[in-house]
Structure 1
Amino acid sequence: MRVALVQLVSTTDSATNRAEIAGQLAALTPSDGLDLVVLPEGAMHDFGAPDLDLAPVAEPLDGPFVQLLTAEAQRLQTTFIAGMFEQTDGLPFNTLVVVDGDGLRATYRKIHLYDSFGYRESDRLSPGAIEPVVVEIAGRPVGLMTCYDLRFPEHARALVDAGAELLVVPAAWVAGEHKLHHWRTLLTARAIENTVHVVAAAQGGDRYTGHSAAIDPWGSIVVEAEDAPAILQAVLAANDVAHAREVNPSLANRRIRS
């Protein structure tokens, strides 16, 4: 599987963000042979100030953001996973959309809202249903997580128990003391303990940590960005997972199961 991770810096203007995304994606062509392109959490619209009401800017699942992804998926002959705020009758969902050239394939609504480090995401957004979401992309079972979900190992394990061999983690990982260390460590831990690939597309810039990355099932960094906008590409071989699980059968050796 060939994956592209798009690190960007979203604003609180959705039309500007769509233009910026289209501009960055122009660097990709069908000849890249991409199976999956991942954009960060909040790619449609930044979180903004802690008191910014996100309901008025949230979009339906057939709105302009998903329309852009569908057009780009058609052009690149690939599948996108990206973060948006999904319109509801009340507080929006923080939603990942899975989009190919035919349109919306699946959604994952963030389960663990970021009520931590003095921030309260739950004041502005609704949590999703507590159920793992795994989708097949290019013949690989892909589990979906968003940002703060990464801090909950039981979430990743539930995805793996549902068949995931690759975890995709779009994020807007807020910068701060210890935060880059936590980001790298948790991405690596989720890969090692589950013997899976982990790919994470993050928001960059001054407010967020950046450092989008792809991690292999041994916990080695395949590719990693800094904090500026960037597009990374990585090839993730399915037999890497099979080999890691043969050498390190920790999943099979579990004696405590939920």
Structure 2
Amino acid sequence: MRVALCQITSTAVPSENLSLVRDAVARAAADGASVAVFPEATMACFGTSLGPLAEPLDGPWASAVASVAEEHGVLVVAGMFTPAPDGRVHNTLLATGRGQHLGYDKIHLFDAFRFAESKTVAPGSDLAIVSVDDVTLGLANCYDVRFPELFTRLADRGATVVLMGASWGVGPGKREQWELLVRARALDSTSWLVAAGQADPTTSGRSAHPKAPTGIGYSMVASPSGEAVASLGAGPDVLVVELDLSLVEKVRESIPVLANRRL
């Protein structure tokens, strides 16, 4: 399976970000990718008033992404915001294409490092999986990466690959934490982890938001044994990576942590 890390810098304007999606998906498909993974908040960057921008999964923005996915025959995974019943929004990871169109509402909200995502975002409660060519793919979103049980539960549901979007916050040690956590969650679940983050906005001549997490770049793919096999730098880019799916079974035989769990 060929998957694409589509590292972009979202703006506050959904139509501009849709153009970024179109361009990156075309590049990914041209290089043979069957899956294109975009960051959290692809629809609109954090630091923006999210309520007025939120749309349902059958709204114009998600429908336009679905059309792009259909045009190129790929599964596109991209962060957006959908209305929540209590007046807040859901931080939703849209997965569309290959006959599928669904959303994963982020379960773990980023109430950390003096940022309170829960003020404007309502948490989800359900895991989500999709499939491409009979391969089960789990979905995760940014702060979820700090919670190992989400990834092991996705593996319990048959996932051998987890697709994750992120918009990581800048700060001392944050890149090191990102890289460590992505590798650790791959190892915990003995699954491939494909983690696409927002690029560092300063690499595109923009300023990083003083409070909101707007990205540091360094999207990466980690193997089931926790090895970082591919990564990007700080700026916008597209990288297509070949996943050896047979490696999952081999690692799960040699490191049977899922089978050996007692709690």
SS at match of 1:217: coil
Measured in 2, the distance between the counterparts of 1:132 and 1:232 equals: 27
Measured in 2, the distance between the counterparts of 1:236 and 1:23 equals: 23
**Uncovered stretches (5+) of structure 2, i.e. residues with no partner:** 203-207, 209-214
Question: Which residue does 1:80 correspond to in 2?
Answer: 76
Question: Which residue does 2:240 correspond to in 1?
Answer: 233
- Please show how residues 100-249 of structure 1 align to structure 2 within 5 Å: 100=97, 102=99, 105-129=101-125, 131-205=126-200, 206=202, 207=208, 208-249=215-256
TM-score w.r.t. length of structure 2: 0.90
Q: Structure 1 stretch 144-153 or stretch 161-170: which is displaced more?
A: 161-170
Measured in 2, the distance between the counterparts of 1:133 and 1:21 equals: 22
Matched length: 250
TM-score w.r.t. length of structure 1: 0.92
SS at match of 1:177: coil
Indicate conservation of the 8 Å contact 2:77/2:95, yes or no: yes
For 2:68, give the aligned amino acid. E
Fraction of identical pairs, as percent: 36
Indicate conservation of the 8 Å contact 1:7/1:39, yes or no: yes
The Cα of 1:32 is off from its aligned counterpart by 3.0
The answer to whether 1:21 aligns with 2:17 is no
Q: Structure 1 stretch 149-158 or stretch 58-67: which is displaced more?
A: 58-67
Measured in 2, the distance between the counterparts of 1:193 and 1:54 equals: 33
In 2 relative to 1, CA 42–71 (structure 1 residues): closer, same or farther, beyond 3 Å? same
Indicate conservation of the 8 Å contact 2:26/2:72, yes or no: no
Measured in 2, the distance between the counterparts of 1:193 and 1:113 equals: 21
Higher fraction of strand: 2
Measured in 2, the distance between the counterparts of 1:37 and 1:24 equals: 8
Measured in 1, the distance between the counterparts of 2:79 and 2:225 equals: 27
Indicate conservation of the 8 Å contact 2:98/2:132, yes or no: no
Measured in 1, the distance between the counterparts of 2:75 and 2:7 equals: 17
Measured in 1, the distance between the counterparts of 2:127 and 2:63 equals: 25
Measured in 2, the distance between the counterparts of 1:24 and 1:97 equals: 16
Indicate conservation of the 8 Å contact 1:134/1:143, yes or no: yes
**Uncovered stretches (5+) of structure 1, i.e. residues with no partner:** none
Indicate conservation of the 8 Å contact 2:218/2:232, yes or no: yes
The Cα of 1:101 is off from its aligned counterpart by 5.4
- Please show how residues 55-66 of structure 1 align to structure 2 within 5 Å: 55-66=51-62
The Cα of 1:20 is off from its aligned counterpart by 2.6
Indicate conservation of the 8 Å contact 2:25/2:72, yes or no: no
Measured in 2, the distance between the counterparts of 1:71 and 1:3 equals: 19
